[in-house]
Amino acid sequence: MKVQIKAIAQESELAKAIDHKINNKTKPLGSLGALECVAKKIALIQNSLSPTFQNPTLLIFAGDHGAAIQKSGISPFPSEVTYQMVLNFLRGGAAINVFSEQNQLGLKVIDAGVNFDFSPMALEKENPCFINAKIAKGTKNYLHEDAMSAQELEKALTHGAIIVDTQGDSNVIGFGEMGIGNSSSASLIFSTLADLSLEECVGAGAGHTSEGITKKIEILKQVKSRYTSPAALSSPEKVMCAFGGFEIAMMAGAMLRTAEVGKTILVDGFITSAAILWASKISPHVLDYAIFTHQSNERAHALMLEHLKAKPLLNLNLRLGEGSGVAVSYPIVLASINFLNKMASFSEAQVSKKV
């Protein structure tokens, strides 16, 4: 997938004008903290002193993993939970439905590679929130072979880009995921791309005990041990093919396209952060367009955020996925551009500035 993402100039004349506008609001200098940083970032992304959000959208990418389908021990939950939760999303019964409805986020659920046929009967009725972009019914079992082929990866990346292009005039897109076993894929991707041990990169996922985490690490070490040649994992594409999920790959493709067309990316937790980490190896400037909404309670997420030099907005000990951190934090993101656009300046309010 070829992308051309424009770098955002942090020292431009526009950046200076944004700083001037923020610093002349009726408040002590820097007193709105992270909100000021977020406001500036969004203004730079939109190339405007008065940025606005249009039709905020949350995309949830769902996919199954061969190692989970074949009950290899990477998750305490059966892979059937993936399709069951997708149906729950489409029926409006999940946490993300509650939070996205509360904060008026348009929700779309994408079948990137779920091991299930979402027939009209299964969906109960045609659902405008559902997007069928299935690559296959789950990846292959990476204990024995690559999770996906190069052709499947390219298809997933392309589908992700197309999905972004079909979101109309939405200029802010949040990302979430669903997939039993995908924290293991994210850990493998993070460990490889950041050159870290699996002990540093593996956590509880959907609910492992300490014994389960130990077993999970041992299984993932077996997976990595299959790749002994220096060339085996020598590119981001090879890493995704070896360990990835269709939902992670498609999400990465969508993130790259979102940045390429100059829209704001809202990143959720550990798995979505792994997707943008991978995307940043394709085009580093994708990070210029990303707001990291929270630090999850997955053990390695803090380390991943540090690796990405990202400062999350919240830390609520969430560990749910689904884009829940995006939806919960959205009012804070919105507050940042509202103060920039609506708060009076010292001169407008006839308030004396600090001497």
Active-site pick, 36, 177, 260, 322: 322
For residues 66 and 180, give the distance between their C-alpha atoms in angstroms, rounded to a whole number. Answer: 10
76 close to 140: Cβ distance less than 8 angstroms? no
Residues 6+ apart with CB under 8 A from 258: 164, 173, 264, 265, 289
For residues 95 and 255, give the distance between their C-alpha atoms in angstroms, rounded to a whole number. Answer: 23
Question: In the structure encoding, which two tokens stand for residue 15, read together?
Answer: 């950046």
For residues 239 and 317, give the distance between their C-alpha atoms in angstroms, rounded to a whole number. Answer: 29
3-state secondary structure of 334: helix
For residues 271 and 282, give the distance between their C-alpha atoms in angstroms, rounded to a whole number. Answer: 17
306 is catalytic: no
212 close to 299: Cβ distance less than 8 angstroms? no
Q: Which residues are catalytic?
A: 322
